[in-house]
Structure 1
Amino acid sequence: MKSKLWYQLGRRLCFYFLFFFICPLDSESIQERFLPPNGYLRVIYPKESFSTYLQNFPLKPKGSPVFLYNGSKKQNQVHLAVLDFPLLKSDLIQCADAVMKLRAEYLYSRKEWGKIQFTISNGMEVPFFRFAKGDRVDVKGNKTSWKVGNGKKGNNRDVFEEYLKFIYSYAGTISLKSELVKKSLTHLEPGDVWIEAGSPGHVVMVVDKAQSKDGNTVFLLAQSYMPSQEMHILKNDTPISPWFVLPEGQIFPTPEWEFPSNAFYGFRK
């Protein structure tokens, strides 16, 4: 009996050792780390929504710096948290690419293959289901065409990653803006963006929202930037940082870009 008890105790101690020393203790989501300011309550969305997916997106441990794709630290550390958002070892996942990746990852996690579609810079629509069928896009200068059945088929992760890498290479803020819908700030939700299209352009994404009893709104913003870098929660120069308030003037300043306040868009449902 004693040997059995010691055996069970040993297994339990082994479990605790593995839990505390191998499992990350600081694996928090956005909503777990950032409580709303006093007087505000986080807005709760349907469990399967894109908004809830973003609110629950995991963060790297507190104090993590933002790294670039080449392993060096970003010079301008303008964040209070870093999303657990792996990069490629090439300068591909910049601001618009990171937003498209989050949207695509959400749909992929739900196995909604048919909804994963983005427009590239020449206006061609590139749905994931074509890649899943084995089709690939042939690029010659600014002209593109489908090559039928020339690639690996399936909805597997490697095909999905190949698809995303193609989108990163041939899409940007201009093409992303073309497929978004204009929104009123009064209807702000996680998943919406401020976007200014151009070369360069920029985009930041709303990833959480809270409201007060009298209807005031605060929200969190995330961005990637140039060169390719980890996506991060932006800080600001207010007592409630990193929470932002709705802009009241014509310009909405963020740490590395000023947007027209009305340059506000959302994904089509």
Structure 2
Amino acid sequence: MKPNSLVLIENRKQNFKIYIYIVLFLLIFSFQNLYADSIKERFPPPNNFSRVNFPKDSFASYLQHFPLKLKGSPVYLYNGRTKSNQVHAAVLDFPLLKDDLIQCADAVMKLRAEYFYSLNEYDKIQFRISNGMEVGFSRFAKGDRVKVSGNKTSWKTGKFKKGTGRDVFEEYLRFIYSYAGTISLKSELKKKQVTDLKPGDVWIEAGSPGHVVLIVDQVTGKDGQTLFLLAQSYMPSQEMHILNSDSKYSPWFEVPKNQTFPTPEWEFPTKEIYGFVK
């Protein structure tokens, strides 16, 4: 039989090992929570709700899995300054330009374009600019560019870079940011019923200024109640972020029942909800 002192030492060693395992488990759990890298991981459904799943290659699923910046990150403006009105629960992880270009509608169009780009479906990357002209990325990939003269635009050829590389894609997006906005975006969307919302749909009020917010996730309760997450960019150009709500389920929003739908920085007519046609 071992002396009592040796037994005591061995027991302490065992207890210390258990303590280390517990600490490591808690650290790993906290680390995963802090560095959750997608909307779906960062925001579990509230109690008694379950997430609505969509086909893997759908825009809705793309948004649910979109990466986020570190938990607690502030929203930055294009010039590196911090947004004065921090009304967000998380910040989406995609870079801004150093110019005041990626505002509310631009951020929505960027996400839509990035979705198709990730699938190599380049022919589907197409947006209408403010004068009604349809501008597709496939034309840029062929080496064409758009000539702008006042409110008139036309395609032109020249010694422009071709291909579907990131540099040409970014050049295309920069053009869209410069010549599209809430008015042109709304003109190519279809009206929806608020009871039929899903990730990828938007509330949009066209104008100068106008505003748009994007649904990026959705959950439902056993009683059929729907909750959703909203993301926005704003003016001036700023990182896209998931908004807090005034609901008891915040940051999840409840389906509005009144004629107006207030969000932290804009109030929309409830009926002004739209979805992408293609």
TM norm structure 2: 0.87
Runs of 4+ in 1 over 3 A off after TM superposition: none
Does the 8 Å CA contact 1:133/1:149 hold for their aligned counterparts? no
Corresponding residue for 2:80? Answer: 71
The aligned amino acid for 1:212 is G
> Hey, what's the Cα distance between the residues in 1 that align with 2:195 and 2:185?
22
Map 1:59-208 to 2 at 5 A. Answer: 59-208=68-217
Give the structure 2 partner of residue 54 of structure 1: 63
SS of the residue 1:208 aligns to = strand
Letter in 2 for 1:239: K
Cα distance per residue 1:115-138 (max 9 Å; x no partner): 000000011100110000000001
Partner of 1:15: none
- The one-letter code sitting in structure 2 at the alignment partner of 1:95 is C
Indicate the residue corresponding to 1:8 in structure 2.
none
Say if 2:227 and 2:254, in contact at 8 Å, map to a contact too.
yes
* Percent identity of paired positions between Structure 1 and Structure 2: 73
Distance (Å, rounded) in 1 between the aligned partners of 2:263 and 2:34: 31
2:258 counterpart of 1:258? no
SS at match of 2:162: coil
Distance, in Å, in 2 between the alignment partners of 1:40 and 1:172 is 35
- How many pairs does the alignment contain? 248
Q: How many Å separate the matches in 1 of 2:178 and 2:97?
A: 12
Cα offset, 1:149, TM superposition: 4.0
**Partner residue, 1:212:** 221
Query: Which amino acid in structure 2 is aligned with residue 261 of structure 1?
Result: T
TM-score, scaled relative to structure 1: 0.90
1:118 partner SS: strand
Match of 1:6 in 2: none
What root-mean-square deviation, in Å, do the aligned CA atoms of Structure 1 and Structure 2 show? 1.5
Report the CA distance between 1:25 and its aligned residue: 6.8
Give distance in 1, aligned partners of 2:215 and 2:159: 38
Q: Which AA in structure 1 matches 2:260?
A: I
SS in 1 for 2:227: strand
Q: 1:25 to 1:241 in 2, by over 3 A?
A: closer
Larger Rg: 2
Deviates more, 1:235-244 or 1:142-151: 142-151
